[in-house]
Structure 1
Amino acid sequence: MAEPWATFGIDLHLEPAGPGLRRGLTDALREAVRSGRLAPGTRLPSSRALAADLGIARNTVADAYADLVAEGWLTARQGSGTRVGERRVVPPAGTAPRPREPRESARLAYDLRPGRPDLASFPRAEWLKAARRALTAAPSHALDYGDPRGRPELRAALAGYLSRSRGVRADPERVVVCGGFAHGLKLLGSVLRARGATTVAVESYGLDVHRQILAASGLRTMPLPFDRLGTDPGEPAGADAVLLTPAHQFPMGMPLHRDRRAAVVDWARRTGGLVLEDDYDGEFRYDRQPVGALQGLDPDRVVHLGTTSKSLAPGLRLAWMVLPPGLAQEVAAAKGGIDTCGVLDQLTLAEFLTSGAYDRHVRATRLRYRRRRDALVAATTARAPEARVTGIAAGLHVLLRLPPGTEQSVIQAAHWRGLALHGLTRYTHPCAQAAPLDALVVGYGTPPDHAWSGALDALCAVLPG
């Protein structure tokens, strides 16, 4: 039978040094507290447990504890054990000071940056129920190193959901789970480069981090033309692949025109190119029928990428790719020999999908976001008539077009009011040929419900007119 101290103690790393065990232990404990390695309030092992761990007499540990209690480094109370005393921690000489938070973060009152959901609406209770069910049903081997493509339960659940809700032609064998869209794009970039690709055509307006990921893979990015109908993939001469947001262009807000959808797939078929479809917020449609996934036109030439970052929370770091047959094997190999995404969250998401909880959550948040969008459109139309709202039919953001030359002044005014806003300039490809356009990309997902009216007032206060 195990001794009680062996199972109920806590681990503490100490290296007593110097003359005498008692003095060496006392000095080691004092230095651990002084340096901050043992934080104020930390409970120390019992004298019996620490003595057993260090292989010394229990009285030696008890005497060292008593010395440090007398000096004020430790406290000892009946029923509370021995703890580190409350005192200011002096960092070791040469330790770099902790960097301060950016000034704008400290002053941030409202956040209207795009690409973020309302984290307060995360379905904690339903997620916890799904996690319990999933963990209860999971076989023990599910907790072992797994298939690099992801858990089969999640790949099967995703295949069914995407086929039903997005028109994706999905086979679980061709689904690869990844740690967010950026992780998926990084894997695709490495595979494309290994295949000999050199150039990826991207939209004139889009996230710079995506261009940086492709560049880090050794791929050049070239901007596609943009006109009144939106992105024009046309004939991207010299490109080996095209990265698009066809269901809801980010950040301009319109879907890829139906003729251009067919044209880019035809280009891929004729040239052997690949279309990378970023379906980042495919669940949120308000004033029109959902736009089906581009992948449905040709599953052998289009990679479909989706994520829970908008529908649930970015912190889950769960996304997926539905890949052409040959590419699925290469991407799985690039991901590594074992699964690198958390098994428990994968099993929970699979249960969340198959139980219908995901659909219920999406429908509820879709209604909430639509009400926010309606309030934003009504307020800006009434209170800032010089700003024109576009791209409102879907997603979690709108584009507010501003009078020429006013974007930077509005951003500055918002900064001083503690309002986080992004201008269109930050999303423009440096080599884009599009005419300069002053606009704001306003996300209405981030503020919790209680802060929404205040965020809207702050926005209207900085808009022209």
Structure 2
Amino acid sequence: MADLHIQINRDKGGIAGQIASELRDSIRHGRLTPGTRLPATRDLAIDLQVSRGVVVEAYEQLVAEGFLVSRVGVGTQVTPAARTAHPRQKAPRPAKPVRRRQNTSVRAPYYGHRPTSPDLGHFPRERWLAAVRHVLATVPSDAFDYGDPGGVPDLREELAGYLRRVRAADVRPENLVIVGGVAQGLSLVLHVLSRQRTIRLAVEDPASHRQLPLLRRAGAHLVPVPVDEEGLDVRRLSGDAVLVTPAHQYPTGVVLSPPRRAALMEWAYAGDRVVLEDDYDAEFRFDRDPVGCLQGLAPDRVILAGSVSKALAPGMRLGWVAAPADVAEAVRRARGELDLGSPVIEQYALAHFLRTGGYDKHLRRMRRECRRRRDALVTALAEELPEVRVRGIDAGLHVYLELPGGWNEARVARHGLELGLSVEPVGPMRESQGPPAVVVGFARLPSHKAPEAVRGLKVRMSGQDVD
């Protein structure tokens, strides 16, 4: 059993988070090796002179992130997957892109309101305007010239600190590339990882039907892998790489379980494979602190893509890719060849917004509001449509509704849209067969309108409204 050296600052607060951070860093830097057994929570609590519940919370957080594994009769140990964070591991080498025929047999995407869209009426206009004014008043004129296609250094510095603090990422500014949203980020990554053949990319099934054409156009051959109540079924993985949404799978809303996280890292290392992590709405978690990103567990295997689309607005087209140094450099060069980089004023403004705490403040406000809206929708569904199973409510901006057998999900979606709900059928998102289901977004649904909309849906689906 390991004797741990953990430093905590009692004046700072958040003791459980401090303990988790110390242990996480020890695992990442090899001070705690795979299989190391940690002290019992009671013993560590006595050593640190804190309550046992605080240590339990820290352990549970790291188990959820995949750094630790807890078994009855064995105790808590460093997971074997933790070796993936060791700095001696080699990152995948990007290959030269090759020309290939584009797959044109894809469905055209729908551009418009989606269940994952935030309420744009809450965009922090005044604070953002203040950030832009600050940039225009303070940034030197030569900063507006052609810049680094990888992004403004000021933003990469602030963003690296934010991702380490909020998403438990293991990232430095030089590992970040600023892109025009997750879509562009994934396209660029697939472009630079292409070898002399098409990449076989495993994708979750079901998955966003808007994202799949983008991945095909980037040159990937898609291999659907089923998702169950623990997330992606890692046992059925095949291919050169995999794209996952581990914090809140789209559309089902499930969180990738700790055993699956560990198994996914084992899969990546066993075959020299890459994991692409879409962190699209992980900042919106309501029952506990967000589960740390996979990239923090294996920074040399996982390429993290994120954006401000859910936190601020999709139309800002500001995102990032966090990757191993050589992959990040290849993506940066590809960005320069594509369009020379993102607009700099918006990048400086976001850096200022992060540095001054405006981004954190806005997120806290939106989490509270989204939780109220989620609760109103879930309560209305329980009261009016108890036969509908509601899933994926712990995080994100949407819920997943499993419909009773015999219900037509296309009809539910059509009626829902007419009643003011943001709803989509899941059928078009599946490769394999599954029960009827729909996705319903709640971020744009005011709390007082949820009961009326759900009652209207109940009336229409009960046959009282002529179809």
TM-score (ref. length: structure 2): 0.71
Please tell me whether residue 334 in structure 1 is matched to residue 331 in structure 2. Answer: no
AA aligned opposite 1:413: H
1:409 alignment counterpart:
411
Please tell me whether residue 421 in structure 1 is matched to residue 419 in structure 2. Answer: no
1:321 alignment counterpart:
321
Paired residues of 2:384 and 2:454 also in contact (CA < 8 A): no
Return closer, same or farther for 1:201/1:371 CA change in 2, 3 Å cut-off.
same
2:272 alignment counterpart:
272
Separation of aligned partners in 2, 1:373 and 1:456:
13
Deviations 1:129-170 (A, max 9, x none): 111112222121210001111101111111000000000011
SS in 1 for 2:399: strand
AA aligned opposite 1:276: L
Paired residues of 1:118 and 1:448 also in contact (CA < 8 A): no
AA aligned opposite 1:192: L
1:442 alignment counterpart:
440
Paired residues of 1:184 and 1:320 also in contact (CA < 8 A): yes
Deviations 1:245-283 (A, max 9, x none): 001111101110111111111211221110000000111
Deviations 1:338-395 (A, max 9, x none): 7421111111111001100000000000000000011111111001111111110000
AA aligned opposite 1:133: H
Q: What aligned pairs does 1:375-394 form with structure 2 within 5 A after superposition?
A: 375-394=376-395
Instruction: Give the CA deviation at 1:425.
Output: 1.1
SS in 1 for 2:190: helix
Paired residues of 2:397 and 2:443 also in contact (CA < 8 A): yes
SS in 2 for 1:440: strand
Instruction: Give the CA deviation at 1:227.
Output: 2.8
Separation of aligned partners in 2, 1:463 and 1:139:
61
AA aligned opposite 1:174: N
Q: What aligned pairs does 1:261-300 form with structure 2 within 5 A after superposition?
A: 261-300=261-300
Separation of aligned partners in 2, 1:124 and 1:449:
23
1:307 alignment counterpart:
307
Q: Which has the larger radius of gyration?
A: 1
SS in 1 for 2:277: strand
Paired residues of 2:380 and 2:450 also in contact (CA < 8 A): no
Deviations 1:400-419 (A, max 9, x none): 11111312332243355565
AA aligned opposite 2:392: G
TM-score (ref. length: structure 1): 0.71
SS in 1 for 2:395: coil
Task: Please report the RMSD computed on the Cα atoms of aligned residues, expressed in angstroms.
Answer: 2.3
Separation of aligned partners in 2, 1:195 and 1:175:
26
Please tell me whether residue 164 in structure 1 is matched to residue 162 in structure 2. Answer: no
Separation of aligned partners in 2, 1:345 and 1:457:
43
Separation of aligned partners in 2, 1:415 and 1:356:
37
Q: Which runs of 5+ in 2 are unaligned?
A: 1-109
Q: What is the number of residues matched between the two proteins? A: 352
Return closer, same or farther for 1:461/1:171 CA change in 2, 3 Å cut-off.
farther
Separation of aligned partners in 2, 1:318 and 1:204:
27
AA aligned opposite 2:265: V
1:209 alignment counterpart:
210
Instruction: Give the CA deviation at 1:321.
Output: 0.6
Deviations 1:22-44 (A, max 9, x none): xxxxxxxxxxxxxxxxxxxxxxx
Does 194-203 or 209-218 show the bigger shift? 194-203
Deviations 1:417-452 (A, max 9, x none): 565520111222x3x3xx421111000112467866
Separation of aligned partners in 2, 1:155 and 1:195:
32
Q: Which runs of 5+ in 1 are unaligned?
A: 1-103
